[in-house]
Amino acid sequence: MRIKILFATFLLIGILANAQGRRKNQSTISGQYGYILDKDDLKGGFMVKGGYGRVFGDAGILGKAEGFYQKYDVKYLDNQILPYEKYGLNVSAGWSYEGLAPVMINFYGGVYGAFEKANGGNQNDPLYNAEIPVKVTGFTYGLTGSAELEILIVRRLSFVADYTQYYDLKSDFSKSNFAFFGGLKYYIN
């Protein structure tokens, strides 16, 4: 057992020793899976996102564009639970604290636009079969922010874990949600 722990420790040290910090003008691609937690007696859901990122200069300035998909439940009249989906694109600017390299802490803020679909696109509610007075499909937009922990594993590959918050400014069904993510980031150049 001691040999396995010692081997794992040396392997981790070797991986981290070979990991390098960022360079200016590097580009990244990333993919993450997230879990939207339960809130207010509603069943949470999941989210996936993937995107392209860029490092600007040597001052830790970052930028990214991501496509995302969310699926969870929303509350409606008389405690009805409606399925909710959102497909979108967000654009964010950020800053990175790199003083702990190969561990970096990244912060992002940005905007998003998305197509939302509530109740599977059905305009009538499931309990009373009454028409829902607002459109169940349509375009929405909002603000997003995230805090990300990035650990460089090998020269161009990082593990990322983040907390992302979404604030819907136009949706009649979803006002705010958040998710915890885990995934990988690959430095292209």
DSSP bridge partners of 157: 154, 186
- C-alpha 144/C-alpha 163 separation (Å) is 11
First to last CA, the chain: 40
Do residues 16 and 102 touch, judged by C-beta distance below 8 A? yes
Can you list the residues of the chain whose pLDDT is less than 50? 16-19
CA distance 86 to 138: 10
Vertex 23: Cα angle to 68 and 180 (nearest 5): 30
Contact in structure between 157 and 113 (CB atoms under 8 Å): no
pTM: 0.83
Residue 166 is predicted with a pLDDT of 92
Of 86, 176, 88, 84, nearest to 122 (Cα)? Answer: 84
Q: Which residues lie below 8 Å from residue 82, measured CB to CB, with a gap of 6+?
A: 73, 74, 75, 76, 118, 119, 125, 126, 173
